[in-house]
Amino acid sequence: MPSSSRRLTGMVTRTRIAPGSKSNRVGVALRTESGDEYVLRRLGGNAFQDDTLEKLVGTTITATGLVADNTFVIKDWTVKSRA
């Protein structure tokens, strides 16, 4: 799973992740203006329940981190606006 460093802006949402699989759960994702959606994780944070990311739901952020497949592991972020 190659990863690349990226800077993305989008709305933080709560969504169903991996429906139909053993990993099926509701989690936090970043939806970009172009419609791409990434499962959001925080570097060093819990992969399944991260209260810091939960507090960002409903906000628009710009974040820097690593993208691997459909997962965006963020190192730092700035809140642009709140819904």
Phi, psi dihedrals of residue 51, rounded to the nearest 5°: -60, -30
Domain regions of the chain by residue span: 4-82
Residue 17: predicted pLDDT: 82
3-state secondary structure of 3: coil
Residue 1: predicted pLDDT: 53
Decide: 75 and 55 in contact? Cβ < 8 Å: no
Q: Which residues contact 3 (CB under 8 A, 6 or more apart)?
A: 66, 67, 68, 73
Residue 83: predicted pLDDT: 66
CATH number for the domain running over 4-82: 2.40.50.430
Q: What is the pLDDT along the chain (83 residues), one digit of tens a residue?
A: 566 789 999 999 998 886 777 777 778 999 999 999 999 999 999 888 899 999 999 999 999 999 998 999 999 999 998 76
Residue 23: predicted pLDDT: 73
User: What are the structure tokens assigned to 76, written together?
Assistant: 């730092």
